[in-house]
Protein backbone atom coordinates (compact mmCIF):
# COMPACT_ATOMS: atom_id res chain seq x y z
CA UNK A 1 0.00 0.00 0.00
CA UNK A 2 2.72 2.42 0.95
CA UNK A 3 4.23 1.72 -2.46
CA UNK A 4 1.07 2.55 -4.38
CA UNK A 5 -0.45 5.33 -2.30
CA UNK A 6 1.45 8.37 -1.20
CA UNK A 7 1.55 8.55 2.58
CA UNK A 8 1.39 12.14 3.77
CA UNK A 9 1.98 11.57 7.45
CA UNK A 10 3.03 8.75 9.77
CA UNK A 11 1.68 8.40 13.28
CA UNK A 12 3.56 6.11 15.66
CA UNK A 13 1.19 4.70 18.31
CA UNK A 14 3.43 1.82 19.35
CA UNK A 15 3.01 1.06 23.05
CA UNK A 16 -0.23 3.01 23.42
CA UNK A 17 -3.21 1.18 24.89
CA UNK A 18 -6.83 1.43 23.79
CA UNK A 19 -8.38 3.92 23.15
CA UNK A 20 -5.28 6.05 22.55
CA UNK A 21 -4.37 4.84 19.02
CA UNK A 22 -7.84 5.91 17.81
CA UNK A 23 -7.69 9.16 19.79
CA UNK A 24 -4.27 10.11 18.39
CA UNK A 25 -5.45 9.13 14.90
CA UNK A 26 -8.48 11.41 15.19
CA UNK A 27 -6.36 14.30 16.51
CA UNK A 28 -3.82 13.87 13.73
CA UNK A 29 -6.29 13.47 10.88
CA UNK A 30 -8.19 16.56 12.07
CA UNK A 31 -5.09 18.60 11.22
CA UNK A 32 -4.65 17.06 7.76
CA UNK A 33 -6.38 18.11 4.58
CA UNK A 34 -9.08 16.16 2.74
CA UNK A 35 -7.62 13.43 0.52
CA UNK A 36 -4.36 13.11 2.42
CA UNK A 37 -3.33 9.67 3.70
CA UNK A 38 -2.23 8.88 7.23
CA UNK A 39 -0.24 5.79 8.12
CA UNK A 40 -0.82 4.77 11.73
CA UNK A 41 1.28 2.09 13.40
CA UNK A 42 0.05 0.41 16.57
CA UNK A 43 0.92 -2.52 18.81
CA UNK A 44 -2.55 -2.71 20.39
CA UNK A 45 -4.23 -5.91 19.09
CA UNK A 46 -7.65 -4.26 19.53
CA UNK A 47 -6.75 -1.52 17.10
CA UNK A 48 -7.74 -3.58 14.01
CA UNK A 49 -11.38 -3.77 15.08
CA UNK A 50 -11.19 -0.29 16.62
CA UNK A 51 -9.89 1.41 13.48
CA UNK A 52 -12.52 -0.33 11.36
CA UNK A 53 -15.27 0.87 13.72
CA UNK A 54 -13.83 4.39 13.89
CA UNK A 55 -13.51 4.75 10.13
CA UNK A 56 -17.05 3.42 9.55
CA UNK A 57 -18.37 5.86 12.11
CA UNK A 58 -16.42 8.95 11.06
CA UNK A 59 -16.43 8.36 7.30
CA UNK A 60 -12.66 8.43 6.88
CA UNK A 61 -11.57 5.74 4.46
CA UNK A 62 -9.56 2.85 5.84
CA UNK A 63 -7.69 1.93 2.68
CA UNK A 64 -5.84 -1.06 4.10
CA UNK A 65 -4.52 -2.59 7.26
CA UNK A 66 -1.91 -5.23 7.74
CA UNK A 67 -0.27 -7.12 10.56
CA UNK A 68 3.40 -7.94 10.72
CA UNK A 69 5.53 -9.09 13.67
CA UNK A 70 3.09 -7.72 16.24
CA UNK A 71 2.77 -4.39 14.47
CA UNK A 72 -0.54 -3.20 13.05
CA UNK A 73 -0.36 -0.73 10.17
CA UNK A 74 -3.29 1.29 8.92
CA UNK A 75 -3.66 3.57 5.91
CA UNK A 76 -6.45 6.08 6.27
CA UNK A 77 -7.55 8.68 3.75
CA UNK A 78 -9.14 11.79 5.21
CA UNK A 79 -12.63 12.07 3.77
CA UNK A 80 -14.01 15.33 5.10
Residue 76 interacting with other proteins (CB under 8 A): no
- Rule CB under 8 A: say whether 57 interacts with other proteins: yes
Q: Is residue 15 within the footprint of other proteins (CB under 8 A)? A: yes
Is residue 14 part of the contact set for other proteins (CB under 8 A)?
no
- Dihedrals phi, psi of 79, to nearest 5 degrees: -100, -25
Mapped onto helix, strand or coil, the DSSP state of residue 54 is helix
DSSP string over 7-50? --EEEEETTPPTTHHHHHHHHHHHTSPTT-EEEEEE--TTHHHH
Nearer to other proteins, 17 or 71 (CB): 17
Residue 18 known to be catalytic: yes
* Residue 31 interacting with other proteins (CB under 8 A): no
| Interface positions with other proteins (CB under 8 A) | 15-17, 19-20, 22-23, 26-27, 53-54, 57-58
Q: Please list the active-site residues.
A: 18
Amino acid sequence: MAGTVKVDQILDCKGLLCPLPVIRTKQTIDKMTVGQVLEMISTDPGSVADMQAWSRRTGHELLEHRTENGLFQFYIRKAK
